[in-house]
Amino acid sequence: MGPIPAPLQRLRCASDGECAVQTYIINRLIQGVFTLGFVTLCIFLLIRVGPADPALMVITQGDETIKPEDVDQLQLERVRVGLGLDKPLPIQYLVWIKDIVTMKWGVSFYTQRPILEELAERVPVTLQLGIYTVGLSVIMGIPLGIIMALRQDTWIDYVSRIFSLAGLSLPSFWTATLVIAFGVYFFNWSPRLEYAHPWDDPYTNMVMLFWPAAVIGYSTGAVKARMMRSTMLEVLRQDYIRTAHAKGLRYFVVVYRHAMKNALLPVVTVIGISVAVIIGGSVISETIFQLPGVGVYLLKGMNQRDYPVVQNVVTILSAWIILSNLLVDILYGWLDPRIRY
């Protein structure tokens, strides 16, 4: 056979490239499934390591002063059978996995309400907090990092670096406590205890979520600012930037079109990771600011040894983190044509 015509070669290369991307996505999905399976096994085993008997805690409503010998053993056994805790651990695990796949997540041991129903009430709060947090961190971090790079070794750079370093160093719970203490002492303000839905009172809802979002966004935005500064300085020293200046392009065009777009690529990865971390790590902020989100729901479930709640919520958060990492990898390859899987 003779040589393959150039148009057919281009078609074949394009097809190979698409197959490579599809193969990469499938491989990552398979890895994600195995990772999620390992996580569910760890959750299932670790939650049963503790000495407390969930059936006993259901009967006593978490009252630790009541001893096991003071409880009716027949009633205790009936509760254990009703919760499915009398079966061997492998059977309990397989039944739980089957229920997750079929969306039968059961009811809470304590509230006796379906877990899906309770999550439907709490997930919008955590998602709203996550959206506000990511938005504030991006709005603060990326422009601040660009300014620090463009004004390197000036007083603006020094002040901004101290500001961002403080965001990295100060724990979010300590910053949140300072915000509340400062508001109470100087303005007689404290977080609202009753949650306001956005469709009932949008202004109050935004005010409630602004401060926790600002606290978390400050620390995550500091990471983005320092990353943006480093990548921006690296890009500004590249040869093609000097060539663009030598060609007489305007300073704004060089910075925006040539430098900033390439410097944003590593920051996109940081933004994607922060989305997963913020959604999964909202326990502290929701607890301090009294927000009825998934984080508080998980914390209460852990304190009450509520197996169904903890197992299902942690599984959801783990799946969210795995999916977020996959989307970040795909988006990174789409933004940078030089990357091939």
- For 207, the 3-state DSSP assignment is helix
d(CA 230, CA 233): 5
Residue 193 has pLDDT above 60, yes or no: yes
- Give the chain's mean pLDDT: 77
Amino acid identity of residue 301, one-letter, is: G
The 8-class DSSP code of residue 111 comes to: T
Digit-coded pLDDT (tens) for 158-167: 898 888 888 8
The 8-class DSSP code of residue 119 comes to: H
pLDDT bracket for residue 12 (50, 70, 90): very low
d(CA 11, CA 7): 6
pLDDT bracket for residue 7 (50, 70, 90): very low
d(CA 96, CA 153): 57
pLDDT bracket for residue 19 (50, 70, 90): low
* Strongest mean pLDDT among 10-24, 236-250, 325-339: 236-250
Residue 191 has pLDDT above 80, yes or no: no
pLDDT at position 65, please? 65
- Kindly compute the dihedral angle of the four CA atoms of residues 170, 175, 177, 179, in this order, to the nearest 10 degrees: 160
Residue 21 has pLDDT above 70, yes or no: no
Per the model's pLDDT, the better-predicted residue between 106 and 60 turns out to be 106
Average pLDDT in the 274-282 region? Answer: 69
Q: Is pTM beyond 0.85 here?
A: no
Residue 1 has pLDDT above 50, yes or no: no
Give me the percent of the chain exceeding a pLDDT of 70.
81
| Dihedral-angle region of residue 65 (phi above 0 means left; psi in -120 to 50 means alpha; beta otherwise) | alpha
Q: Can you name the residues that pair with 133 across neighbouring β-strands?
A: none
- The C-alpha angle with vertex 292 and arms to 289 and 298, in degrees rounded to 5, equals 105
How buried is 40 (Cβ within 10 angstroms: 0-12 exposed, 13-18 middle, 19+ buried)? Answer: buried
Hey, what are 275's tokens? Answer: 């989305």
Neighbours of 124 (CB within 10 A): 14
Per the model's pLDDT, the better-predicted residue between 138 and 26 turns out to be 138
Q: Can you name the residues that pair with 107 across neighbouring β-strands?
A: 114
d(CA 335, CA 261): 9
Digit-coded pLDDT (tens) for 292-338: 888 888 888 877 777 788 888 888 888 888 887 777 777 766 666 56
CA atoms within 13 A on the CB side of 233: 13
- For 53, the 3-state DSSP assignment is coil
pLDDT bracket for residue 194 (50, 70, 90): confident
pLDDT bracket for residue 70 (50, 70, 90): low
Q: What are the DSSP calls for 211-231, one per residue?
A: HHHHHHHHHHHHHHHHHHHHH
Residue 249 has pLDDT above 80, yes or no: no
* Strongest mean pLDDT among 184-188, 215-219, 321-325: 215-219
For residues 156 and 147, is the Cβ–Cβ distance under 8 A? yes
